[in-house]
Chain A
């Protein structure tokens, strides 16, 4: 049996940073569904927040102000001690990436440049043009290969081996061969990213199926605050590829079909740089009330910024607009609409990434610490991945230093047998049965349209029964063209759909239960924030009959909840 001290699942920024931290001391392997540089971190555009106070206008910025903006942005649902840790770690992580080689954009004096971002009181967002995720991910991968981190690429984890609240390892399948293998491990770090692809309109990569959250859920870990789904205000109409908040940070306007900068009505002082939940609702309201274009989108207008600024600061989104919409932003406005973008919820962890299962940690978008609460600020997700990747790595070291027990071979063997049997069973199904495609499409349309920017009881309940129906149909879903297990996309689609349906169920059920408006969760039938009853985290635990919900207190230490105004 293969066995490691540490198994990191996922090789985006969080997984890489965790691996970089532990690999020099403990035997570490990174299992990843795609090659590390294909991870969705690569698509992050705008930047990473840190109170460096480098630029004119941010001289008196501090980590406390960053923390306050984050808490206010979260609609007071974030746990304040965790937010404080993240904001205090931020400058160090930006400098660390710089020392590893990240080509941050610079000021004339050679220091790291910063730009304004939504919901932030100061220009605090450090950036590498509008390709920050690409630069940061390649940089951390470069550091990882320098350190000789061992990667097992194109392995898909099928289950976590958990017994008596302790992790023993994972069962995984190698895509190239279809071989199922068991990996013993004293510690496992989940860093598998978000679930964007359960929504029909999403900015996320096609690989973002939330599989790591589903693994933890199935292993009995509470899943926190899943009803809080971020809809990015500006995704490209048609493909929903991200059009960075950086575009508005650099001065871009949002304009309706009357030529009005409509944000004036919704956030008269922050305007286009209000937090994402507010801007997304404003855009959707304009569209719903007939002031959009073709009832589908509004315009993101950059023309007044001029060619030079667009080419220098926003080359990535210019390229995307040209390649995917045939639009040159120097000459024409870009058609944009809200689309699913980020998961505020996820695997419940403490501030060091630890879950309720001994030896099991989680970091990055798949985890919920919670630092984003009900709405994440732009520029805080790259920060989250690196900070909590680092802290999870440190927690893993502490755990191993204190003498963790070795995994139990018997438990691993039975976990292996269960997965092998389940794959054999899938292969034995009638190939004439329903394929995953139809269920996937119905799930995506249902979740986006009935549990989207605006929500209400009736449609949420329709969505819930639809998902239960799809789960029934899933039990008989089949591979269409049964060949061999070697690199079999049909098999992957069947395997991943199960977790996606579970995620959809958690999101919708959580949204039905929460009868208030907070951050990105907006109930038109309960149109106010209700601190008395709902200033608390949702915790969903897996049971035979679906998720069981309980609620825990929010840690409020520095900033008392107030009404949010921008």
Chain B
């Protein structure tokens, strides 16, 4: 951390969620007060608190530059990447740190992301191709075709959207925003051959139809991805597919 000199520091009061299931019957909050210079991020502050005041506070981190997706947590109630959130940008000098909701707690801010990754796997998040069509060199793809993917390939799988989604609060088997946006990314790829019939796999109350379009995921996304838009687009695509299928309008390879 770039701790420069004491007199330019602002004092912050951190209230940090604590829960170690081995010893605690229920969660509680610890308070730490410390000064930090301008430009300090929430992650840097947490690392400083961990290093100098309590080395048992658990949270995930890696890149500290908002590309790895490790440090999603609630800061003053908002799901954010701690590394990308400046203390200066918060309102006031009270900083409330809590884990992302909708997942079980391993310890403190470290949550069990298994349901998030399980949902990710359910959309078969890989390029579906026909092996025999694979060219010797590259598949040709125009800059415009790549541009269509741009808004979605930036997803860092941080689960901020997953933690923000109210539906996941009561429907724990819901795919969630990130997995559906990932499916949309592949279905928008000119190289992907899965076709609209794949949507039957997510045509369920826990799949495409669970979203109540509350748009929290859009607010939460640190990469400005709009998962709700992808959910609505895939719903439309599914309806068109069903309509064509019902009226026998599908070509042989689309069935």
Interfacial residues, chain A to chain B (CB-CB below 8 A) = 34-35, 37-40, 42-43, 94-95, 98-101, 103-112, 128-129, 131, 134-135, 138, 142-143, 145-146, 176, 205-207, 238-239, 241-242, 316, 319-320, 323-324, 435, 437, 479-484, 486-490, 493
Contact A205 B55 (CB under 8 A): no
> Closest residue to B1 on the A side, CB-wise?
A239
The B interface is mostly helix, strand or loop, or mixed, namely loop
Contact B55 A206 (CB under 8 A): no
Report the Cα distance A107→B142, complex, angstroms: 7
Contact A484 B142 (CB under 8 A): no
Instruction: Report the interface size class on chain B.
Output: 35 or more
Supposing A103-B153, A176-B106, A323-B84 touch, asked if A205 and B64 sit within 8 A by C-beta, the answer is yes
Interfacial residues, chain B to chain A (CB-CB below 8 A) = 2, 20-23, 39, 41, 47, 50-52, 54-58, 60-70, 84, 106-108, 110, 112-113, 121, 124-127, 129, 134, 136-143, 145-146, 149-150, 153-154, 156-157, 186, 189, 191-192
> Closest residue to B68 on the A side, CB-wise?
A38
Report the Cα distance A482→B143, complex, angstroms: 55
Supposing A99-B129, A435-B51 touch, asked if A43 and B106 sit within 8 A by C-beta, the answer is no
Contact B52 A437 (CB under 8 A): yes
Report B134 CB to chain A, min CB distance, Å: 6
Report B198 CB to chain A, min CB distance, Å: 14
Contact B55 A103 (CB under 8 A): no
Supposing A108-B143, A131-B154, A437-B52 touch, asked if A484 and B23 sit within 8 A by C-beta, the answer is yes
CB-CB under 8 A from A37, the residues of chain B are 68-69, 156-157
CB-CB under 8 A from B141, the residues of chain A are 106, 110
CB-CB under 8 A from A40, the residues of chain B are 62-63, 68
Contact A101 B191 (CB under 8 A): yes
> Closest residue to B110 on the A side, CB-wise?
A487
Report the Cα distance A489→B49, complex, angstroms: 12
> Closest residue to B70 on the A side, CB-wise?
A38
CB-CB under 8 A from B55, the residues of chain A are 435, 479-481, 489-490, 493
Give 15 pairs: A residue, B residue, CB < 8 Å, sorted on A. Answer: A37-B156, A42-B63, A43-B63, A95-B138, A101-B189, A103-B146, A103-B189, A106-B146, A131-B154, A142-B127, A205-B64, A207-B61, A484-B23, A486-B106, A489-B56
Report the Cα distance A206→B51, complex, angstroms: 14
Contact A145 B126 (CB under 8 A): yes
Contact B63 A112 (CB under 8 A): no
Report the Cα distance A95→B39, complex, angstroms: 42
Contact B126 A146 (CB under 8 A): yes
Report the Cα distance A318→B70, complex, angstroms: 21
